[in-house]
Amino acid sequence: MFWKKRRVAETGFVHWRIKKRCLEMILESSKSTYPNEFGALLRARDNLITEVILLPGTVEGDRHAIFNFAMLPIDYSIVGTVHSHPSGNPTPSDADLQLFSKRGKVHIIVAMPFDEYSWRGYDGHGNSIDIEVVE
């Protein structure tokens, strides 16, 4: 177990998972916000993303979701962000990469058509990561 913890610390590799119902909520929220972007925070426990947190004051437009981090609660279970790209391209923009580097360890971008195949996970450096969907 010690080796495993040290290995995670050295490589930064974390096996992220997301509850299926949480991913479904993200996809449905993205659909309902379309043509604007949807934006929220991710809450996790033991690297399992379980909840979407709506941050008061978030501004959602057709090309942006601006978070009001002054409204961010002190909550160490918030591990990252999620937002949609109505364009259909789940690749992070320069603004996304800047956000990722400052806010959290895991990030999700969902793209049109907002289905189980149109989303991607990223780490805080903007590297693509696998996120396992679990019941």
Query: Could you list the active site residues?
Result: 37
Exposure of 25 in the CB half-sphere (CA atoms within 13 A): 16
Q: How many other CB atoms are found less than 10 A from the CB of residue 99?
A: 23
Q: In angstroms, rounded to a whole number, what is the distance separating the alpha carbons of residues 19 and 44?
A: 10
Q: In angstroms, rounded to a whole number, what is the distance separating the alpha carbons of residues 124 and 118?
A: 20
Q: What angle do CA 119, 98, 63 make, to 5 degrees?
A: 55
